[in-house]
Amino acid sequence: MQTISVPLQNRSYPIWIEKGLLIKLPELLKPMNQGQKWVIFSQNEIISLYGNSLYKGLKSTGFQVELVVFPDGEKAKSLNELEGIFSQLIGMGCDRSSTFLALGGGVVGDATGFIAASFMRGVDYIQIPTTLLAMVDSSIGGKTGVNLLDGKNLVGAIWQPKAVVIDIELLKSLQEREIISAMGEVLKYGAILDRNLFEVVAENLNDILNLSKPELLTEVIGRCAKLKADVVVEDEREGGKRRILNFGHTIGHALETHFGFETLRHGEAVAYGMLAAGKLSNEDGRLEIEDFELLQTTIKKLPLPKLPEFDAENILKIIQRDKKVKDRKINFVLLEAIGKTVIVDSIEKESIIKAMESL
């Protein structure tokens, strides 16, 4: 089993990566079981695929385990939905000693983490990501959040998990679009932190997309997880370096909010956001044309959905409401080279609109 440490003093935790790890999980978690309530948070399809067997495995190993079912999609991340879940937890007899298990993709991880951070002023939780996107990104680092009508993740907390459990066997049940979406975040890590990783992914994109090389996929997931963990350790509260993880997200989040999840998935939106940020980086005189073309060519190899027509001015209004805006200045993560970033707040609105119109 590959173990990556996230050393945050008394909030430290491991990231465990191994094929078939979910089956071994009850034994792995046994030392943490002190007779408390354990609650699996998931969604219907994932429960059918993995949740029921995990529930039975924990039950047969002596865990007091319950199950909470979120609605499908982003509905799980609404404050109205969570109010009923808090009442449900009280009815189950949960208290401050309870441990929550987030079994699912980014939506389940975000919502469960927020519930864990809020319930009884904070309880332990463990991330068990079932999507590639969650494995390489959202399950690591403790960022939790729920949505408002005004935008994604505008209410949340940073609440570190007790462990992250990554089983690449779970990826076999994903639709191809979910793998494609995740590659937006995978390429992001290479673009901002590791040129070699970017080139490895670019050269092996088809093999990664069709899951034909499990060892390569495990290596890529492990490298992304380690890069994320290192950034989180350096800047847990997103006051400095951690902000570079938002490369492609400033425009990407706005596109995602504007079009909705069915039209544009998170990683797809990030991929389009990286194209725009790459163009801004090049036109700002920071990114050489060769690196911009490498970024652009690689991202365009992904079979992304075609963007419907949109008014860039409307997207800009969404960006201006984003939590990355400070003192009315839009913070952009730009590239100086593949693997090297800079954060700026001096990009003209006309340039942002022009970059979006080029997508």
pLDDT at 329 over 80: no
Strands 325-326 and 2-6, bridge-based pairing: unpaired
SS (H, E, C) the chain: CEEEEECCHHHCEEEEECCCHHHHHHHHHHHHCCCCEEEEEEEHHHHHHHHHHHHHHHHHCCCEEEEEEECCHHHHHEHHHHHHHHHHHHHHCCCCCCEEEEEECHHHHHHHHHHHHHHHHCCEEEEEECCHHHHHHHCCCCEEEEEECCEEEEEEEECCCCEEEECHHHHHHCCHHHHHHHHHHHHHHHHHHCHHHHHHHHHCHHHHHCCCCHHHHHHHHHHHHHHHHHHHHHCCCCCCHHHHHHCCHHHHHHHHHHHCCCCCCHHHHHHHHHHHHHHHHHHCCCCCHHHHHHHHHHHHCCCCCCCCCCCHHHHHHHHHCCCCEECCEECEEEEEECCEEEEECCCCHHHHHHHHHCC
pLDDT in tens, 274-291: 999 999 999 988 999 999
Evaluate if residue 151 carries a pLDDT over 90.
no
Same domain, 261 and 141: no
CATH number of the domain enclosing 342: 1.20.1090.10
Positions marked active-site: 121, 143, 185, 228, 238, 242, 246, 249, 253, 266
Whether residues 16 and 132 fall in one domain: yes
Name the domain boundary from 142, 173, 204: 173
| Mean pLDDT of the residues in the chain | 94
**For 2-48, how does the pLDDT look when each residue is reduced to its tens digit (9 = 90+)?**
999 999 999 999 999 999 999 999 999 999 999 999 999 999 999 99
**Domain tally, the chain:** 2
For residue 138, give the CATH number of its domain.
Answer: 3.40.50.1970
Q: Mark whether 99 and 212 lie in a shared domain.
A: no
Whether pLDDT at 237 is above 90: no
Listed residues 122, 144, 173: the one ending a domain: 173
In this predicted structure, what is the pLDDT of residue 345?
Answer: 85
For residues 78 and 201, membership in a common domain is answered with no
What integer pLDDT is reported at residue 203 of this predicted model? 96
Closest CA to 192 of 346, 343, 345: 343
Same-domain check for residues 165 and 66 = yes
- Are residues 159 and 180 both part of a single domain? no
Same domain, 196 and 303: yes
Check whether residue 145 and residue 192 sit in a common domain: no
pLDDT at residue 323, rounded to an integer: 61
**Domain ranges, residue 65:** 2-173
Residues 285 and 149 in one domain: no
Of 120, 139, 173, the domain-final residue? 173
Q: What is the mean pLDDT of residues 158-179?
A: 95
Summarize the confidence of residues 250-265 as an average pLDDT. Answer: 91
Domain match, 163 and 187 both:
no
334 with 186, same domain: the answer is yes
**Residues 229 and 351 reside in one and the same domain:** yes
- Residue 325 confidence (pLDDT) above 80: no
